[in-house]
Chain A
């Protein structure tokens, strides 16, 4: 009984050694959202056109949010075991670098500014949906997604919101975009005027 067991264990160990890959330990880094900027999206055509002014039909309007990122700290990882990671039985090494968000986006608000109306400000976030690949998801569903992680250093991150309920919006407007972050900060920007028809 012992001999077959030793034989099987030897085969098992050999397989582990053969399967072992020399993978580099992943370096994890934090990134943080520093500033935000927006551009208007004219979505009349097959592909969106980005601009800072102009006349756009309300039903084809969107806002492109550019979040500018900064890598600012090396994430410390505790290695209590004292061993490097081994990747026996698989040669799919993890990424060399992993950029993780230090503070996640907890809220997106789109405030429409209309100097000719009273009140001059109104929260129009509910009119917008986030374009996710080729589908639309609500802003709240977007916020519930896992935060973006990057394998390469990224300087910016883009979110595109499109107006899905254009009824009653016309005239020259500006939009203030407010991004709330989990650390308690809020970054915001006000767009250039756009004439919605």
Chain B
């Protein structure tokens, strides 16, 4: 046990000995990827859960991140990353199951939703995040530490849902519509993050990222059931509201432009 420990200590101290003196970083881009874990997530349990293109448990990839340091330590950064989870991609199936579970005993159900065509872009995934904020950098030989306090936006889709219900053993027909009004929901997000990096060369840094995400989601779905014979309409709402806490762990490379 002592041998590996001694080796590690010697290795770490020797890095300082062999460390080159680098010019302070002025401009850098930082593509990275990783996984996000929910500490608290969106409360649900409604028939409309499958219409929301949201999950706290996602993979992320960050293709766009630019840092500019106007002094040796201080700078500013902009980032945009995409997030996706298989549970977001197949949420239409969950919606169909939820409709069948709620109405299937009495009615033949024919659901449809915009969620059948899951939105997934190469850049933004299905849940998009972007932010801007001040950064503080410490460079020590080949080692690099960056702390950030970013503010930005987390965006995801809330699709409409629709179902025609035909009574089992009878002629009654109902139309059910679920709507969250605006299709895209944007939520103000606070995002402190840290990056620990090691210079592999003059321009390339291997970095490990830790992100904390804090934002409040508040949206609601309105369910409208219309009897196709009597034209009677009944409505109810499903509230989605809660403070979301997530952490992300990832790794990537920082490319020093100047």
Contacts and interface: CB of A to CB of B under 8 A. Distances in A.
Contacts of A44: 168-170
B108 A164 contact: no
**What secondary structure prevails in chain A residues at the interface with B?**
mixed
Given A46-B108, A164-B229, A134 B164 contact: yes
A134 B170 contact: no
B171 interface: yes
Nearest to A138: B229
**What secondary structure prevails in chain B residues at the interface with A?**
loop
A57 B173 contact: no
Interface of A: 43-46, 57, 59-62, 129, 134-136, 162-164
B108 A60 contact: no
A71 to B, nearest CB: 34
A59 B166 contact: no
B35 interface: no
B175 interface: yes
B228 A60 contact: no
> 3 smallest A-B Cβ distances: which pairs?
A46-B108, A162-B171, A59-B170
Nearest to B107: A46
Given A46-B108, A129-B229, A164-B229, A136 B170 contact: no
A59 B171 contact: yes
A126 to B, nearest CB: 13
B169 A60 contact: yes
A182 to B, nearest CB: 28
A57 B170 CA distance: 8
Contact of A163 (B169, B171, B228): B171
